[in-house]
Amino acid sequence: MSVEQSWPLWEVFTQGNQGEPFEHAGSLHATDAEHALQNARDVYTRRGEAVNLWVVPSSAITASAPSDAGPFFEPGNEKAYRHPQFYKVPQGVRVF
Amino acid sequence: MAQTTVPQEDPALLAAFEARIAAGESIEPKDWMPERYRKQLTRMMAQHAHSEIVGMLPEGNWITRAPSLRRKMSLIAKVQDEAGHGLYIYCGTETLGVDRHDLFNQLLDGSAKYSSIFNYPTLSWADMGVIGWFVDGAAIVNQTVLAKASYGPYARAMVRICKEENFHKRQGFEICATLAKGTPAQKEMLQDAVNRFWWPSLMMFGPSDKDSPNSAELLKWRVKRKTNDELRQRFVNLTVPQAQAIGVTLPDPDLKYNAETKNWEFGEIDWSEFWEVVQGNGPCNAERLAARNKAHDDGQWVREAALAHAAKRSAKSSAA
């Protein structure tokens, strides 16, 4: 079998501009973190898509299960006290 | 045949899945999906990725002979893009639980399919123009629809690819427009390339709807959003005015405009040629496969060196 099979998989995240969140761009195989970073630059940023890159071993990511989506992310809408509208303000007062 | 290839799916899960598709939701890797959906996607995405990789070969052939530095630079950039497109899609296939090295191996041993168009030879510089114009033009028509495919990772790869594909088409059309204004010999070279690539480009959209074995299922699950024939018609409608604009003729005596349907109607495609090429008997099938295998074998030492380098660096940092 070919040697590449021992190259681990990395997930690539790009930051489009300073201050923006990092977004998942895709994955790639590389021998180590530095190699992954160089490959990520070549594959995912050929047209100025990023000012910063993260590479993370895919095996290091723990993800939620789509089947749990409902209960896992239940926003607690019954907890009205989490919202500013819950709190009364004297009439005529401007509150930020 | 002891076993049927269609696995029995849990009807409740299947119904929920089809409801999500009907609602226009995007399916993500960890979502439940029917085995057929996974299979069809794997097949289609792998073929697509292979096509990008093999697509580098007919063009790589002309990098050293590009007629100017400007043309050479854009051709190198384009070939690099094709490699990137292949990698984006291989990355998408892995989210379906496939090992991309198994896919590489299927390409190398000839058991995988890729777009029939890349089995035609590139005989002159004009072919670089016509490939950009027709082949990348056809790819754009296909891919803008695939960017709305129901499988999230595939759709996202397509969005990325579409952004880059426009450059390919424009550089190709520019080459053609330049040759069309050139010497009689250049015009003749262009017309010859157009004549050779027109029909194979129309075949890129795949068999006619009535003969396409996978279309119904792909459409039902919204992997595809339009049929092969619809996409082919759209490509013809876009391309005929471009040909008229630069004064080349398309090699189809039956081509005529239908004012009622607003379609350019075209003649019968030679499907026997298409199936021959798909089955591996095109003009360059063997040559492409041999070139791909040589590139892979010649790269062996690079891959080994990268691993050795990483091991050395890791040993050094753990010793420190």
- Comparing A66 with A40, the larger pLDDT belongs to A40
Total number of domains in chain A: 1
- The reported pLDDT for the residue numbered B96 is 95
Residue from B151, B48, B60, B28 nearest B103 by CA? B48
pLDDT digits (tens, 9 = 90+) for B12-59: 999 999 999 999 999 999 899 999 999 999 999 999 999 999 999 999
pLDDT score, position B105: 94
What CATH number has the domain bearing residue A19?
3.10.20.520
Q: What is the pLDDT of residue B153?
A: 95
Judge whether residue B82 has pLDDT over 80: yes
Residue A73 in any domain: the answer is no
Percent of chain B with pLDDT over 70: 98
- pTM for this predicted structure: 0.90
In a domain, A96, yes or no: no
Name the percent of chain B lying above pLDDT 90.
89
Searching chain A, which residue's CA lies closest to the CA of residue B301?
A: A3
Average pLDDT on B95-103 reads: 92
Beta-ladder partners of A10: A28, A57
Reported confidence tier of residue B307, pLDDT bands at 50, 70, 90: very high
| Residue B66 reports pLDDT greater than 50 | yes
Q: Distance between terminal CA atoms of chain A?
A: 65
> Does the residue A49 lie in any domain?
yes
Sign of the Cα pseudo-torsion (A48, A50, A54, A56, in order): negative
Boundaries of domain holding A7: 3-64
Interface residue B99 vs chain A (CB under 8 A): yes
pLDDT of residue A65: 80
ipTM of the complex: 0.84
CB contact under 8 A, A6 and B314: no
Residues forming a β-bridge with A26: A12
Q: What is the tens place of the pLDDT at every residue in B157-179?
A: 999 999 888 899 999 999 999 99
Does residue B73 register a pLDDT over 60?
yes
Would you give the distance in Å from CA B272 to the centre of its chain? 21
Cβ of B31 within 8 Å of Cβ of A66? The answer is yes
A47 belongs to a structural domain: yes
pLDDT tens digits, B196-229: 999 999 999 999 988 887 888 899 999 999 999 9
Is the pLDDT at A3 greater than 60, yes or no? no
Of B287, B80, B311, B87, nearest to A3 (Cα)?
B311
For an interface test with B, the pick among A13, A23, A32 (most B C-beta atoms closer than 10 Å) comes out as A32
* Inter-chain CB proximity B304 and A3 less than 8 Å: yes
Instruction: Give A-chain residues touching B156 at CB under 8 angstroms.
Output: 26
pLDDT at A77: 74
Question: Which residues lie below 8 Å from residue B127, measured CB to CB, with a gap of 6+?
Answer: B58, B62, B193, B196, B197
CA B125 to chain CA centroid, Å, is 21
Q: Is residue A84 part of a domain?
A: no
Please give the residue that has the higher pLDDT: either A30 or B212. A30
The per-residue pLDDT for A74 is: 79
* Residue A52 falls inside a structural domain: yes
Residue A28 in domain: yes
Domain annotation covers residue A25: yes
Pick B91's closest partner by Cβ from A27, A65, A66. Answer: A27
**Which chain A residue lies closest to B161 (C-alpha atoms)?**
A44
Predicted confidence (pLDDT) per residue in B139-150, tens digit? 999 999 999 999
Binned at pLDDT 50, 70 and 90, residue B6 comes out as low
**Quick one: which H or E segment has residue B280?**
none
Band (A70; pLDDT cuts 50, 70, 90)? confident
Strand positions, DSSP E, chain B: 256-258, 263-265
Which pLDDT does position B1 carry in this prediction?
40
